[in-house]
Chains A and B, each alone.
Chain A
Amino acid sequence: EDQVTQSPEALRLQEGESSSLNCSYTVSGLRGLFWYRQDPGKGPEFLFTLYSAGEEKEKERLKATLTKKESFLHITAPKPEDSATYLCAVEGNSGSRLTFGEGTQLTVNP
């Protein structure tokens, strides 16, 4: 059974204070690891897909990295508008479904 654990559950940062979110996973044959952002009352918004260990992707202040056991979402010089819940999910070779972690609720204070 695929499993995803995210840490921390919640993170408070000051504007400009860089940090990282962790996603640990176990999966039978990783087909892809996905990062999503979810704002209150909205559906998850796609950020990144990573397919193999060593892969990195960047978008504005966000960078996602992947190893064989975990993924990190690095946030550089965050702004208040980066406040959201960040979800990590994996797709294994058992099917097309995504298995999500419980998310990290990020708050960036001005």
Chain B
Amino acid sequence: GAGVSQSPRYKVAKRGQDVALRCDPISGHVSLFWYQQALGQGPEFLTYFQNEAQLDKSGLPSDRFFAERPEGSVSTLKIQRTQQEDSAVYLCASTPSYDEQFFGPGTRLTVL
């Protein structure tokens, strides 16, 4: 079956612009995670949903970052007033329960 998909794959934004990154998890997967991966680093946790409930958002770096999953499937990560330090790859992962997380290809965000 289809894996986790993310769009867009690449996004270039001018400093101060708002961006929205989309994640389509594997069908039926209850849990969905967002991670941020800087160049040469491992992914860092941002936020976690179980169905439509956001159970943990402690990794979001500032109040400019907002995530939602209104119907318990597709999720959107929104970054307002982007800054250069927001440049990174944003990874989405889903899992059916508490097993391994399956990752999408990521969205590479570049803020100029």
Chain B associates with chain A: yes
Residues of chain A whose beta carbon lies under 8 Å from any beta carbon of chain B: 4, 6, 31-32, 34, 36, 41-46, 49, 87, 89, 91, 95-103
A-B contact pairs, 11 of them (CB 8 A): A6-B42, A43-B91, A43-B104, A43-B105, A44-B91, A95-B48, A96-B31, A98-B33, A98-B45, A100-B42, A103-B42
A42 to B108, CA, bound (A): 10
Residues of chain B whose beta carbon lies under 8 Å from any beta carbon of chain A: 4, 31, 33, 35, 40-45, 48, 55-56, 59, 91, 93, 98-106
Cβ–Cβ contact B101 & A46, under 8 A:
yes
Residues of B within 8 A of A87 (CB): 42-43
Q: A44-B91, A89-B42, A101-B42 are in contact. Are A49 and B48 (CB under 8 A)?
A: no
